[in-house]
Amino acid sequence: MPDVRKKTRTNRLLLTNAKAKQPLDPLRPGMPSLDSIHDDSVTFKSKGRTYRILKTTEVDSYETTPPAEALRKALHGMAQPAPAAITAAAKLSPLKRPPGPKPAPGAGGDVFAGTARMAAKLSKASGSTKSFGDVSLLIASLPTVDTMVKLHISTAKTSNRVPLEERNVHVTGFLYAASREADNDFHLIVGTDLKAKAGQEMYMTMEVSGLPWSVTPRSET
């Protein structure tokens, strides 16, 4: 039976109609919406394989960062968005400094800029590290959503880890998406490498928090 993906592949970035560096397969698991991709030129190699990074205009509806607002302006009501406007928006810094005293000159680009559960985010879990060979196994080990909701965990700045969060894990997975947030955290979508493992697709959101400038001073350049 013919491979239907060969008929659906495209050599154009549908958002801007620019030529893609390599054909895009919309039916490949983990692919973003084709009409959101504005750049596919970045590649890197790891363990003998070449990976391509697809930069998209996808942002969360709650985001009010400069890139998110500029992307909405560049895209809203535009039948054919201007590539230059999208590129300019993508280059804007997502960091919005919270009200209050300006951080010391050594703050650098890794400073945590939020307040929600700051104590928990910037702390280290006390539990021993447990390894998982697959994302699905890690997900299966997590407490249920109902269990966590019943704990009524505060989002206040001083909200620290609860006992169920005192875990350290090591998991083998594949990074499908990454987005830098206004509080200088990175949100990641991690899942199974489907070329290495067949079966049900499994993904989970992970978060890499920014660090306090006072802990990791950096010299300005």
- The alpha helices in the chain, defined as continuous H runs, are 5-8, 66-75, 83-91, 118-121, 135-141, 145-149
Given the DSSP bridges, would you call strands 37-46 and 18-24 parallel, antiparallel or unpaired?
Answer: unpaired
pLDDT above 60 for 96: no
pLDDT above 70 for 101: no
For 203-214, write each residue's pLDDT tens digit: 999 999 887 756
pLDDT above 70 for 216: no
The domains of the chain are located at 1-92, 97-221
Torsion-angle region of residue 48: left (phi > 0), alpha (psi -120 to 50) or beta?
left
CA 90, CA 59: separation in Å to the nearest integer? 11
How high does pLDDT run on average in the chain?
Answer: 83
Q: Where are the beta strands (DSSP E) in 127-202?
A: 129-132, 168-171, 174-180, 186-191
40 phi and psi angles, rounded to 5 deg: -135, 25
The pLDDT value recorded for residue 20 is 93
Q: How far is CA 9 from CA 3, 6, 26, in A?
A: 11, 6, 7
Mean pLDDT of 182-199: 80
The pLDDT value recorded for residue 103 is 47
For 106-142, write each residue's pLDDT tens digit: 444 678 888 899 999 999 899 999 999 889 999 999 9
17 phi and psi angles, rounded to 5 deg: 70, 15
Angle value at C-alpha 111, between 94 and 164, nearest 5 degrees: 100
The pLDDT value recorded for residue 198 is 63
Amino acid found at 218? R
Which residues face 111 on adjacent strands?
211
- What percent of the chain is modeled with pLDDT above 70? 84
pLDDT above 60 for 176: yes
The pLDDT value recorded for residue 147 is 96
CA 130, CA 151: separation in Å to the nearest integer? 24
Closest CA to 66 of 178, 177, 180, 176: 180
Mean pLDDT of 178-194: 86
